[in-house]
Amino acid sequence: MTEDVKVRRTMRKSTSGDGASPASASGTRARAKATPPQMVFDLFADVAPELTCGVDEVGRGPLAGPVVTAAVILDPSRPIKGLADSKKLTALRREALYEEIVERSLAFCIAEASVAEIDSLNILHATMLAMQRAVRGLSRVPTLALIDGNRCPVLPMRAEAVIKGDDKVPAISAASILAKVARDRQLAALHDEFPQYGFDEHVGYGTPRHLEALRTHGPSPHHRQSFAPVREAFEIFGTLTVSRAVRSS
């Protein structure tokens, strides 16, 4: 207890609200009953305010690649303009905001669940696992986690689901941007290895071009075997038939 708190407690016991001495012991007891709420406020005056992190995922629907999540604790003293659902931003704007979020946030973490984990656990549980990794990877421990969507992973702190939170809560918007940019970069790198699938165009989603590539070339090691179009391609080709492609100059 600080010396300041001790002084204020002593003053409350010895004086009345107008500075006069208490008339009786009963008056002192009555004032003592009213003192604790104020004392609680005083004792916890130096405790840091609640730290809230926003959490979002990218990549639940694609046929290939990991599901990527991010957790972000924004710094109120360093606001970032233009935060929004990553799907509503251009790629150029997302890249610019990505750099601002990394520079200005109090803490952030990008995590993922692999294709093998998706196939083993199913996409929902793999997403929850990736969210847990993102929150636990923060350099500062939040007291509240706001999760985009209608379900929350099991976390050591209070968590609340926010439907369409990536368009309502700035910290969730920031998380969606980090996750989207990080995953898009991964799929661009996969395109360099496997250009026949067009990962740079559809980032793993089941577009007509992607489905046609699966039927023509079979699945790559980065395709999710538990997803129906990929499973059907495996049934046709039997095993993984695609090796890393050598790009011609």
Rounded Cα gap, residues 244 and 221, in angstroms: 10
In the numeric block, which tokens belong to residue 235?
């049934």
Is residue 148 part of an annotated ligand binding site? yes
| Neighbouring-strand partners of residue 55 | 71, 147
Is residue 56 part of an annotated ligand binding site? yes
List all residues 6 or more positions away from 128 whose beta carbon is below 8 Å from its beta carbon.
151, 153, 154
3-state secondary structure of 141: coil
CA-wise closest residue to 107 among 72, 69, 157: 72
Please count the other Cβ atoms lying within 10 Å of the Cβ belonging to residue 2: 11
* CA 107 centroid distance within chain: 11
Q: Tokens 């790559």 — which residue?
A: 220
Is residue 57 part of an annotated ligand binding site? yes
Rounded Cα gap, residues 173 and 162, in angstroms: 12
Rounded Cα gap, residues 28 and 169, in angstroms: 48
Binding-site residue set for a divalent metal cation: 56-57, 148
Binding-site residue set: 56-57, 148
